[in-house]
Structure 1
């Protein structure tokens, strides 16, 4: 017994000795290698792989687009698995802290780097991978860390660091097959981010040689097939689509591989169109494809488009939008295709705008294609706004011109005809109307009479109103597609409830309750001079803006001419008349019409207008050189005016306007000419020219200056009238100033080396890292253009300098005070765009007083000043 106890004690002592992480003996190393591997590293690795697999499982592949090389890391999935990753981090840390002499320490550091990468802790992840590469004696592990570091650099678009890493790895020998597979995939990702199609294909071709996982291999084959197809190499694409079917891929990938293989091999080459259409019909009827019916019809629509059958293509796209599907983004592509057809084939800009609206409802805003759609839609939004405002206001003006009895008779007749028509339509409906959301988004009723498109089909619109009323009751419509319909919207009055219990009676009751009341219709007709003036002002503005937009943005000179001529006919005294004449001159010239009639009108009616100078001197210089030269001439003319040489000043002004019409200096030159008039001509002439200038000038600062110059020339009655007209604007400005004055500014952060001095000259700063500077190569030029458009009179200067090794800064100056700098900051944040300049960089821009900048230039601590700036100014 004593012997056993002795042996047990001896064994326990050996065990305790082996547990020590300080003694580097064979027994100790063996113990720590075993426990670090299986009690810590292995379990941590399993948890990380589970999270990575969850990311892959949750990701919805969009096979209609080229698949990405790497499946993006979804932050939501990572957050859901935070506990698992925290546990993996704890296990990895134990392997490092408790088993320091084991051979799994560096591997555990690598796992921590992977965890940091998944949790978007970029700097920590970089440090972990760099540490492993510099410290590990295991070549395979070092290579793995470098490949992970390369992917991280590519994520950040740090191409200089990425190129250095690629070059280093290219010179390394003994890279394992597993690491070579990851390396070539990462190289494909590198070329993918740089839009290098051949580079992606070449790298993935090499990755295929080392792929072990058959499902991964299937996915790579599918990507190669897609890219070969887009390069027009159909034979290679067919081969790789067939290879993508190996390895038991998911059914959806098999479906698309089969579909696309058939397209590149048979559909494109086949002359038997019936066979092609039967192929799509068979796919559609296959029960296994019940969640892919929208894909089948969409692809069939694209086939019919290639055959030139646009009406059938549109019908199929409408059908595809209503079919069930597993990929919501496909609905967005369907609407985008409908928008494309309506824009390029049908020239229906209103339909295009609403299809793009529907597309955006299915495509995530962070998707690059969403920004592309938004950019395309901005012009169309303005087009539809002005078009629909013209339609609505034109109807209201027509109704306002009638007597009360006539208005009432027309409204009663409208309500009676609508009720009768809708009851007849409802009676014909034997099958219930689909309540699919796609019917509302597509907004068409393809089986009914009349136009297929919702806002050109009054029946479809009213049927929608009936269905809405049945579901939700009698509510006023808001934000409907056709603003003209606003004339007939209910003001919320409730119709009497029906007492019939049969279905036809219920339908009639629903129709009656869905129609607006007579009172609500009459209430929307303008009946005061002020209301009519407002409506006519809106009409004038919309006709002008629509004409300008059609000419410059939509390249529709004939439609532009129609709107501008309507403007001049309806509003002969419009202040926009000179510019309208000029646009009509351009439009007629482009369409080989009678452009000279507008040259004559401009010379007769507006001899001093810059537009008159322009049509009289069509070959005059323009652009930046014209701006620079006209700036020099303006300074010379102003100097001549200042010293009393008024004739010389006028000569310089006139010659500059004739030689350089319509530069950013034009309005300044015109105002200077008026100042010369004040010195050389009659008081009445001076006053008239100032009043005309105030009406037509678009530069608010110059307009304000002209108003100041005008005031001494006005009588007491005219001053009173002017002050009354400007009262509302003045009150608004005062309210803003009072609000600012009353706002209590936060205290300066404790121990901050910066002071608040709003009256001091300020500068605006954009800070960028070296990689961000490389990405934003056009920044200086874009800033100059931005200043020319938005701050043409501010004389802003732009420069750049190195703050430290990590940051270069671009400086815009000067701003007289913090208020001016804040105005620039807001406009910059909202409107400035430059290729390669990220929103993150824009959000870190700031303005700073000269005194504070001197302090910043010494400390080089941008984060410290940003904290001060956000506390005080944001």
Structure 2
């Protein structure tokens, strides 16, 4: 009883508190935490078709369902701290509290607790364990600078025990995984294997290494690790995939080996234990046949895999994505590719990296298919509108007949003929007779019967006693049909009668008035033009682009899109080594004042002017939105254009239009401030004069007199008298500098050098593109160059949405970018700059003045 006191620090008291804190509070708390961690792993469904993550992701739903258990663990660990504070298990209990905070997503608390233990604990092993947990937390939060510091510190520590070394190397692999360093992951996991004690964990690491070696094309190494992954009694699925993937990387030198592998896939398919993995077997067989160069068989196998049941729904998405890849690379079938990607997205979780990547790929294909199908549909409808009513009815009847044949063909395809081998009838499409002779077992006979019924009686609903003579009685009965009765009716989805179109409905779709035909022609005109652009810019199908654009100018000679179509035809014919000069002549004859005529007459100036073309169209749309009172829409379009095309001859016009939007939506002070800045910095005199006239109504009589302003342009002053809520003002960190700090503006980064250095630096563009692909794959960064004056040539990287994104790029550029095309001095002298400040710099040409501003404002 006397040893219970935590106030007396005697041997007996310490022994009592060490015993009770370790084997009561600490032990029970740690056991509960381990149970939750095991449940997280058990609930995670490993996707073996993709590279496994180093750590199993922590599922918030599992953590939430174990909230009471974790709170109980927290209470026990807290008691070890409060009740047994003279024991040597206090710091260990604090570590458990940090783990609970980490599992529950309370990262700030976890971080503080881990730091406290690291600073105060005298137990070296516990400190190492805490630092490794802290490293994982830093990687989770992508605080890589703190992670680097922790790694550096741990690398200098000695006497790290084997258990901690295993966790350290595993966490290092996680660090490299998050930084997309493939070699780093492999190296760290390889070291982790040396210290792994748990056979199942060793099996999982071996499997990850095998996957990564396979992706790198090191098949021999991958084969060895797949074999090792089958050791240690792994879960059945991992063992299954290890055997399966080992076949992919096995060395095959003879036809005998190929037969062996195919027989192996057959045996896997027929194994009852693989009932839920049949789709995986056929999918892997498809990838194997693709390697052998048999594309038709590969496609058939992929279709079969999509039809097979399976436990991993995501696999169906990967199957359809593979079908999309094949139809794109082998056949350039953009329509099929789009629809396969649509199917893939129905099985892949929305918002996942794979889904986002597919969505990005689909953007262009969606537009392509939309315009192709609209052209086909509208062409057909216009053609039908020119036929007589009798001819239209004949066409409609033929269409219905074709639909009937299609339904019968589908019924045949659904028959399940007996087969001696699983791969003999891959798509179940082969005609092996009509199946059973019993009517209700014969899908073809039933389909044909339903269609014959439709021909005789029409598309009437199925109901009991429909032949009754007492129609009145029948009608009264039909009104009292119960819900139970209705379940006996065929569903619309499965009833072939509902799939057959009605002839009157088909005929009603044919346009009959000039207005309807005119609308179809307007849509056709738009689709031919947009499809031509899409094929030229996004799909690089120059010949098809030329065909569509030539159809546009031939069929719609009054189209407002003709000048741009001529210009695109000019570019297309130049690439095809065709007659590009004919479009130069047409532009000069028909549209002598067009900007496109300027481009073809000055081919040297046309380089890079596609940005000007697009920004011109966007400016026109934004201008129309402004005068329609749609100010937010106008601003959105202006800002997106400035972001995508930051340096064109339209930049100053877009900026002034944006200021006009400010006059309608923001405060009078903000409007005036922006006009004054614009007048000071803009170069185009007509726009400056227009801005002055906008500013005049905002000035007092004294200010007007001081400026000697001349009221020369009739602009409605009431339009300028706006007084709404105040907005934030821009800051000038150097009062005497002409440059103004505005972090919200679109920014660019500039590499400045002499013209001689610029000539030698042409290779830097390729180095920058590789740098962007590795570090900013989704940012759509562009690179261009221009001569600022005789002394300075510049390379421009753009766009960055704001200053923070530009500074993030600048810092990574300074630390990681390497190129033999530029000197270290050029690299170190790079700077970021906002669009408005670049306009000032382009006018003053004083780069050193801006560098001084850059150091104060950004560094």
Same fold (TM over 0.5): yes
- Residue equivalent to 1:313: 298
Matches within 5 A, 1:64-79: 64-79=49-64
- The 2-side partners of 1:285 and 1:575 are apart by 64
Q: Is 2:348 aligned against 1:363?
A: yes
- Give matches, 1:373-452, under 5 Å: 373-415=358-400, 417-418=401-402, 421=405, 425=409, 431=415, 446-447=429-430
Counterpart in the other structure of 2:168: 183
Aligned to 1:264: 249
Partner of 1:155: 140
Match runs of 1:318-717 below 5 Å: 318-415=303-400, 417-418=401-402, 421=405, 425=409, 431=415, 446-447=429-430, 495-497=460-462, 510-620=495-605, 622-623=607-608, 663-665=648-650
Q: Shift of residue 621 of structure 1?
A: 5.9
Q: CA separation in 2, counterparts of 1:494 and 1:430?
A: 24
Residues 1:204 and 2:189 are matched in the alignment = yes
Contact 2:39 2:62 in 1 (8 A): yes
Aligned mates of 2:190, 2:513 — CA distance in 1: 75
CA distance in 2, matches of 1:163, 1:36: 35
Q: Do the aligned residues in 2 keep the contact of 1:208 with 1:217 (CA within 8 Å)?
A: yes
* Aligned-pair CA distance for 1:98: 2.1
2:274 to 289, 314, 336: 289
The Cα of 1:589 is off from its aligned counterpart by: 1.7
Q: Does 1:757 align with 2:725?
A: yes
User: What secondary structure, in the 3-state scheme, does the structure 2 residue paired with 1:290 have?
Assistant: helix
Q: 1:798·1:811 contact (CA, 8 Å) conserved in 2?
A: no
Instruction: Give the direction of change, closer, same or farther, for the CA distance of 1:40–1:263 in structure 2 (3 Å limit).
Output: same
2:125 aligned residue (140, 153, 156): 140
Unaligned ranges ≥5, structure 2: 418-425, 433-442, 468-488, 617-646, 657-686, 691-721, 732-741, 746-770, 785-798, 812-831, 838-856
Name the SS for the 2:604 alignment partner. Answer: coil
CA distance in 1, matches of 2:316, 2:56: 22
Q: Aligned equivalents of 1:783 and 1:232: distance in 2?
A: 30
C-alpha deviations, 1:491-523, integer Å up to 9, x for none?
A: xx9745488999xx9999944443232332233
Cα gap change, 1:496 to 1:313, in 2 (>3 Å): same
Q: Distance in 2 between matches of 1:283 and 1:351?
A: 31
Q: CA deviation at 1:304?
A: 1.4
What's the CA shift for 1:116?
Answer: 1.2
Q: TM-score, normalised by structure 2?
A: 0.65
- Contact 2:416/2:428, CA 8 A, preserved across alignment: no
**Alignment TM-score, normalising by the size of structure 1:** 0.64
CA–CA separation in structure 2 for the residues paired with 1:608 and 1:565? 22
Alpha-carbon distance between aligned partners in 2 of 1:421 and 1:357, rounded to the nearest angstrom: 27
Aligned equivalents of 2:59 and 2:805: distance in 1?
Answer: 38
1:747-789 CA-partner distances (Å, limit 9, x unpaired): xxxxxxxx9934775797569xxxxxx9998799979999xxx
Deviation at residue 355 of structure 1 after TM alignment: 0.7
Matched residue count: 624
Q: Is the 2:5–2:13 Cα contact (8 Å) retained in structure 1?
A: yes
C-alpha separation between the residues in 1 aligned to 2:744 and 2:7?
Answer: 52
Out of 256, 260, 269, the residue aligned to residue 275 of structure 1 is: 260
From the superposition, tell whether residues 392 and 448 of structure 1 become closer, same or farther in structure 2 (CA, over 3 Å). Answer: farther
Q: Quick check: 403-412 or 571-580, which moved more? A: 403-412
Q: How far has the Cα of 1:43 moved from its partner?
A: 1.0
Distance 1:352 1:275, change over 3 A: same
- Among 23, 41, 59, which residue is 1:38 paired with? 23
Residues 428, 61 of structure 1: alpha-carbon distance in 2 compared, 3 angstrom cutoff: closer
C-alpha contact (below 8 Å) 2:611/2:648 kept by paired residues: yes
Q: Distance in 2 between matches of 1:266 and 1:802?
A: 49
Deviating more after overlay: 586-595 vs 113-122: 586-595
Partner in structure 1 of residue 284 of structure 2: 299
In 2 relative to 1, CA 144–397 (structure 1 residues): closer, same or farther, beyond 3 Å? Answer: same
Q: In structure 1, the residue corresponding to 2:84 is in which secondary structure?
A: coil
SS of residue in 2 equivalent to 1:525: coil
For 1:549 and 1:145, how far apart are their aligned partners in 2? 55
Residue in structure 1 matching 2:207, options 222, 226, 241: 222
1:367 is displaced (CA, Å) by 2.7
- Tell me what 2:14 maps to: 29
Segment drifting more, 510-519 vs 86-95:
510-519
Provide the residue aligned with 2:677 in structure 1.
Answer: none
Give how far 1:270 is off.
6.5
Q: For residues 597 and 421 of structure 1, do their structure 2 counterparts lie closer, same or farther at Cα, with a shift above 3 Å needed? A: same
| 1:101 corresponds to | 86
2:102 is the counterpart of 1:120: no
Q: More deviation in 146-155 or 505-514? A: 505-514
Q: Which residue is equivalent to 2:666?
A: none
Task: Return the alpha-carbon distance in structure 2 between the equivalents of residues 258 and 798 of structure 1.
Answer: 51
Q: Is the 8 A contact 1:218 1:244 kept in 2?
A: yes
Q: Is the 8 A contact 1:419 1:512 kept in 2?
A: no
Q: 1:574 aligns to what SS in structure 2?
A: coil
Deviation for aligned residue 1:602: 1.2
Q: Is the 8 A contact 1:59 1:71 kept in 2?
A: yes
| Range 418-427 or range 271-280, more displaced | 418-427
Change (3 A) 1:501 1:60: farther
Change (3 A) 1:101 1:499: closer
User: Counterpart of 2:276 in 1: which secondary structure?
Assistant: coil
In the alignment, the residues of structure 2 paired with residue 427 and residue 198 of structure 1 have an alpha-carbon distance, to the nearest angstrom, of 53
Q: Helix, strand or coil: the match of 2:510?
A: coil
Q: Deviations over 1:85-122 (max 9, x none)?
A: 12111211222222222222111111111111111111
Q: CA 1:666–1:393 in structure 2 vs 1: closer, same or farther (change >3 Å)?
A: farther
Q: Deviations over 1:322-368 (max 9, x none)?
A: 12222222211111110001011011001001111111222223432
Alignment partners' CA distance in 1, 2:252 and 2:778: 50
